Structure 1
Amino acid sequence: MSAPNKSYDPVEVEALKPEAIERMRDQALAAIAAAADLDALTHVKTAHTGGTSPLALANREIGALPPHAKADAGKRVGQARGAVNQALAARQTELEAERDARVLAEETVDVTLPYDRRPAGARHPLTTLSDRIEDIFVAMGYEVAEGPEIEAEWFNFDALNFPPDHPARGPQDTFFVQDTEDPAALEESGVVLRTHTSPVQVRSLVTRDLPVYVICPGRVYRPDALDATHTPVFHQVELLAVDEGLTMADLKGTLDHMVVSLFGEGMTTRLRPNHFPFTEPSAEMDMLCYVCRGESVGNPDRPCRTCASEGWIELGGCGMVNPKVLIACGVDPEKYSGFAFGFGIERMLMFRHNVEDMRDIVEGDVRFTLPFGMEI
């Protein structure tokens, strides 16, 4: 039986020679230093510290050495692998710092710039105001009614007690729709662009069961020149209530509730006698000046430009529904009564927001609509 080979020198194993281990270490360190980014460093780490890396294979050779030789060989390999791992960690820290600095430079955000280059939109204030008025009356139990903008003369005039020779039925106040090639037959076409939303009230009485409580907003047309206070296309809102026992007191209470809802507490209305074909008795509706609340009347120290120091602002027309209109719509005036009123939404918008020129409302400039925002 032979004795153990105590004279075996581990440096004679090629992979465990000091110069071989140093070469493996230096190659690994050079590759680590040359890694330009984290992806390249990952490949270097696999090549020089993985299970098939030169140092890992050399480490396996230690197991075949005699016990007294393993310590020295393990120390040399361990020191080399430690140097490589230390270099890897240092290089990874450097590359991560470079990456973070680059990301901050490339993806920096200037928080002072607009967050959205696409400008924000806004609802047109006429739409917003019309919706608000509708909400006020829907909350009171009214329904929103609509009708055609191209209307028959019967609905626009005859059913509303406009006689055939009434000035409003002339071309100076009404757009007639020509349905023939003969210009002379224009006024005989019997079709007009509605001059008010009252035809919607007539249609409501004809088609709905009584009682009727409707609010009628919409576009209307009149041959007016466009200026600071007039436009040929504008918006009206009219209200109709027909039921048993309605009086002017109900009309007055409804008007007061409307102006309070639109302009705030303390607002009220007054009625001045007037004449309209479709109401009897009829009245002009004024509301308390929303700026001075009547305090400018007789007070030279506090003049009010809004109401010209009169204390009241004219809003629109109103009155009890004329019995002739009820009869034309098939309603018994002995049993039912009703009230109605109407006003221009543009005029109301000018009051509420101090708009001085109606052309600003209709010209479509976004600089006018944007300050009103997106109220819903």
Structure 2
Amino acid sequence: MATGLDGVIAAQTRLSHVDGEAGRLILRGFELEQLAGHWTFEEVAALLWQDIVPHAADLAGSLGQARCAAWQRFHPLLPQLAGMSAIEGMRFLLAAVPDEPADATGLLGAAGVAMAAALRAATNAAPLSPNADAGHAADLLRMLRGQAGDASEVRAFETYLVAAMDHGLNASTFTARVVASTEAGLASAVVAALGALKGPLHGGAPGPVLDMLDAIAEAANADAWIDAAIARGERLMGFGHRIYRVRDPRADVLKHAVSGLRGRDNRIALAEAVEQAGLKALARHKPGRRLDVNTEFYTALLLEALAIARCGFTPVFAAARTAGWIAHACEQQQTGRLLRPASQYIGPWPEPQAA
């Protein structure tokens, strides 16, 4: 029996395909490399939503207004964020979004505003209102940091949002589909998915990559530190992936995006040295097993280079993935089928009763 549902087909989808053996991520007929860094967040979300989510074609023109409407809904609730972590604050705000009437664009805008407001509150900064006329990536980056990004920063951030938008039937996306199959409502599906993402085995990996860079400190220390970590049996954060047996395609597009920020006040040069040291050490210690960098490695580096606090990495990921959650929830609803897997009982059986 497959544990963890590995290899079990639970849904048919037109949205995304993860090919771990070939290192490919396909979104609605496009390789990720064709989209990330070339299309806007709104364009890729509309691509995912076409023929599945109502009003997908209007997304580029309506998402800014959706952010503003979300701000009006959330503003009276912002004092309640005191003492909450960023992810808990985001969950709290999104729980205030009603299921009816179903509004996919409104929910996507709300996810971005909730993410930015919750992170600002968690870092003792005042949340900022949205700008309806700005692009989604540019506006979220400004609301996160308190200042607008330049062209290179916005491009890098938008590349990340696109790369994180959808990735097959992962734990949070499966959760969204299960909830959607009950007809609970779109907002309920997204809030449930966010709860699944909160777990460190799913959404929490980029932060420890930075902890590793903190410990290494200088490029000259990378070889010795990594060899010692492997000798202790520790996992190298940001290397290897449960699905990909070759390079994670998201790591490639994010590395390219990060390259546009090289030379600024960041740790890109250190990370590149750690990547090379890690790959060499893994090849020595684990011959015959390819372990490459994954998306968390360059996600951590990119978000840090954009001056986004570590506690915001998972909420930022959630704001991007909400577009995918919505697409999967709506696709699941089209089937009209309740997801109800079976279980295998391995507990004790009742003792036979005397005649």
**TM-score tier (shorter):** under 0.3
Higher helix share: 2
Normalising to structure 2: TM-score of the pair? 0.25
Normalising to structure 1: TM-score of the pair? 0.24
Structure number with higher relative contact order (C-alpha < 8 Å, ≥ 6 residues apart): 2
